[in-house]
Structures are given as structure tokens and as C-alpha cells.
Amino acid sequence: MSENTLMFAPLEPSRHGMLAVDDLHTLYWEESGNPEGQPVLFLHGGPGGGTSPTHRRFFDPAHYRIVLFDQRGAGKSTPLGEYQQNTTALLIDDIEKIRTMLGIRQWLVFGGSWGSTLALAYGEAHPEVCLGFVLRGIFLCTKIEVDWFVNGMRNFYPEVHQRFAEAIPVDERHDLLQAYVKRLFCDEPEVYMEAARNWSRYEGSCLFLEPQPQAIADFESDEVSLGIGRLEAHYMLNAAFMEEDQLIKNIAKISHLPAVIVQGRYDVICPPVSAYRLHQAWPTAKYHVIGDAGHAAMEPGIAAELVRATEQFKLHGQFL
């Protein structure tokens, strides 16, 4: 089974542009599909991961008005990898600027990994504009999740973690996050680019149930790794600029809305415990664990379930 049989056919954006949101950041945005259709917002992962043409393909273009954008410091947005003036609250404001610019009253919100974090934070800030949520690979950005990403993944990928740690001098390895932050946020390109590649390779090596060489290579590229490395470290260092467990504590603000949670059973980057906690706090959300999948949206079972969710919402306005 290939992605070509799981998802809708490739399509080009009907329009796209750049939106200056402050004196530093300019965001890339695009629309595809039916310009008169049901609006859906795609929120990419990372932070810093950016969008790709594949992301349009989770949605029936005859039905959905598909909105993608690259968050601050990510993808085609400029400056790439910029962590200053980059917080969750500002990202939420950016989403509202895009919604207002496009004249959209309400939309379905779709996000995976960090995209699920931002989807929940956005929904809790603006529940009145959300029709529902499609969430994948849940990350709540709690202290235990950050520690798991930086240290705990060595329990499953010891050789990958060893390479990640060995890029840091021995006397700094007791706090890998701080050691990487020191390098990622310095002013020397050769230092921060090497740190970004090491960080991004670490994540890319753990994305799929079975490692995908092309995914690892993509994550090592300069245009991907700078956004991933700098912004993931920035948001993890600052607990995503939220109170501890804020997204669970505030779930009542959106729990009246339809939602589906799709989680890979063997997701090492965002282990299932976070998705399960979210479902316990939000029992009306549909909860699907994919038994033969890791973290990536393009795991066949995950991609198929995400498309099934968007089709259910198209037909029923809810998830089954």
C-alpha cells in the first residue's frame, strides 16, 4: 500500500502569498481545493517543520477549502529558524490574522505532533471559530514529554541517542537540552547549523516504525534542520510558553466540539500515554490507536485513518 492509494491526488494551490505579521516575521500561506468549500486549517509539526504538498492530500479537494501556512521560522516563512518573537500566543494570533484575511468564519482544525499542541491551544483560545479537531501523535509539551524526547528515546533508539549526545562535550551531557540551546542560539553559523542537523537527524531517525532513509536525509537538510532544531529547542526550553499541563486543564473550553485522536501504538517521539490522557480528559473525542505505526503522519495506517476522519466530517459533521 502506497500513499498514492491512501490519500487524495496531488494538487496545486489555487492561491498563495506572504503575510507580514510583525516587523520580523513574514508567513507563507496557501489555499487549495474548493474555494467555496468547507474551510479546514492544517497545522504542521515541529515546531519548525513547515508544510509540504503532501499535506493538502488529507482532504477531498472537491469539498474542502484547504488552508496551509508555515508557522514563524518554518518552511517558506521568513526568517527561517527565527526564534525571537516566536511564542505560542503569537502563533495563535497569526492563525487569527490568516482566518480574518481569508474571510473565514469557522473551520475544521487539523494538526499532528506539535500541530496537535497548537491546535489545542488555538481551540482553547478561540473555540467559537472551530468546527472540530483532527489530532494526530499528541504532544502536550509537559515536562515529562520534553524529558522523554531529549533523554527517554534512548530506551528504544540507544544508538541514535548516543550519536545525538556525543555531539556534545562530556561535561555538558548531563543537560542535553541546555547544551543544544547554547549552540543552536549562538551567532556562529557553522556551530548552530551543525547542532541543528544533529538535533533534526535525531528526530528524523525515530519518526517511523521502520526507519526511512529518505526521511532522515530530509531532516538533515539545511532548510529543514534549522527550523526543526532551533524552534523545537526554543519551545521545549520554554514549555511552549504555557502553564504545566495547560492544555488538559482547559479542555472543557473545547470538549463540546467533535474531535478525533489518531495515535501510533509504537510512537516513540510522542508516546501514546499523552493521547490516552487527552482522551480521558475528553471522552467524547474518538480515539484510534494504529497498531502497526510509529509517529509519522505518513505511516500507512495513520494516513488512512486521518483521511477517513476528514471524510467522516465531510459527510456527517462529526467522527465515527
Q: Which residues are catalytic?
A: 113, 267, 295
302 contacts 266 by C-beta, under 8 angstroms: no
Cα gap 236→166, rounded to integer Å:
20
Side-by-side strand order, sheet with 26-33: 15-20, 26-33, 64-69, 38-43, 107-112, 130-136, 259-264, 286-290
- How many residues are listed for the chain in this entry? 320
Distance CA 130, CA 122 (A): 9
Cα of first residue to Cα of last residue in the chain, in angstroms, is 24
* Alpha carbon separation from 25 to 115, 208, 299 (Å, rounded): 19, 32, 32
Contact 283, 101 (CB under 8 A): no
